[in-house]
A and B are shown apart, each in its own frame.
Chain A
């Protein structure tokens, strides 16, 4: 279980997170939706130790990880598919995946997981010796997901994994996320594609200018008028 309490993050003078609370129970899929600039990426980056919160606590399985360096947080079982994919363009597809397994010592397990990733994304297998930078945007997104899986994370954070993908591929990616979750992994998903995210998530939070303003089950939020108007592109929904 991931618990975030009263999280505040500042960038210089910008107060990006203003007391975020959220919980991600083990084995669940939780989604975080919100407008551009709401602070979704900042929340994920704080959890992985890439930005330092000024205030608040982040706990993983009860253990405080708030000010640990990123590599220790990864070692504790967290992986992230970052915003903008951030694959290594100068490394081959295979090396990108191996970077994902950087902390692991079990060579045979790594090989097995690489086969598993190749089964999830057969295109990556065909391109395993190609440089990451030569992949198409969609393939890079698959690689970013596969790379995050290579650490066998118990908690996987995904920052807009469907961004820029063709509708067919979006469905494929969401299918994969479901499979990953069925394997017992916990997912915290940030999405622009609120419709798909709410359909998948057990629980959802709505973030607005650095604060959680609404939460509920995926279905509840799908039916919420304000959410429909703001995030599901349904102008017919009446105002709250």
Chain B
């Protein structure tokens, strides 16, 4: 492998990984608060891609407007799902919540198939993403530079929200003790809604950037990235946002580099990632950064 190829592959892995990271955040934050694996999250990613597709490709809105609008609308979809599907089950056994999440996932996928159809649609990719960029003496696709950079900006913004704002502080509080948070006068349902909003907006950002990288979209496009992002969340330590970012980048790099170094194994790339998921669930369910489940009383 030449240096040029290696750099290209490294950037490929990084951009794939940063996309997983964006999606993994939503899994990890919702899990942190509700102990729910939101199986519909991968489909939210798809919804985000389609909203952008319609805004830009059909209504011809400019990207500077479509991007924030897509994040906002997708955040709304996430909040709506929580409101109608999950919130009524807050006091029910967790398994009901989990089954409902699977149901919501099927609902979004099938709603997609019925409304926009199963056929692939060509995603409108801005020129900036398509034009090549020179870096470290190597020529690489613009997408492999811009995707990780934009993702990084979103992830830094998220960390700022979580660790520097009052809403973020309340989210961290809820994830440890819902009842005590209520006693502080906080409306926990609103904090949960906010968590869904943020997770869904980041998934939408992921969906858009993903579609820049792979510009053919369809209503089932969220399934595999969703599972891999979930793997990333588990690897990083589910419930831990920083862990989800690290897990995402690791999974992306592992996936791309194994295929790059062992091209004969390329058919196994998904199986490889999911073996990592199973290994972690069996051997280290708390992930790399997850704290062991003990608390000082």
Contacts and interface: CB of A to CB of B under 8 A. Distances in A.
A19 to B, nearest CB: 25
Given A71-B182, A84-B297, A133-B296, A91 B187 contact: no
B177 A86 contact: yes
B176 interface: yes
B190 to A, nearest CB: 9
Interface string A92-122: 0001001110110000000000000000000
B83 interface: no
19 contacts: A50-B182, A50-B183, A70-B183, A71-B186, A74-B182, A74-B184, A82-B179, A86-B180, A87-B180, A88-B176, A89-B295, A90-B175, A90-B176, A91-B172, A95-B169, A98-B169, A102-B166, A102-B184, A102-B185
Contacts of B179: 50, 82, 86
Interface residues of B, number: 21
A31 interface: no
B266 interface: no
Interface of B: 166, 169-170, 172-173, 175-177, 179-188, 295-297
The 4 closest A-B pairs by CB, nearest first: A74-B185, A70-B182, A103-B185, A86-B180
Contacts of B177: 86, 88
Contacts of A87: 180
Interface string A146-175: 010001000000000000000000000000
A91 B295 contact: no
B184 A100 contact: yes
A95 B179 CA distance: 17
B278 to A, nearest CB: 29
A222 interface: no
B183 A80 contact: yes
Nearest to A48: B183
Contacts of B183: 48, 50, 70, 74, 79-80, 82, 86
B176 A89 contact: yes
A182 interface: no
Contacts of A230: none
Given A48-B183, A98-B166, 16 more contacts: A49-B182, A50-B179, A70-B185, A71-B188, A79-B183, A80-B183, A82-B183, A84-B297, A86-B180, A87-B180, A95-B169, A99-B170, A102-B185, A102-B186, A103-B185, A133-B296
A90 B177 CA distance: 10
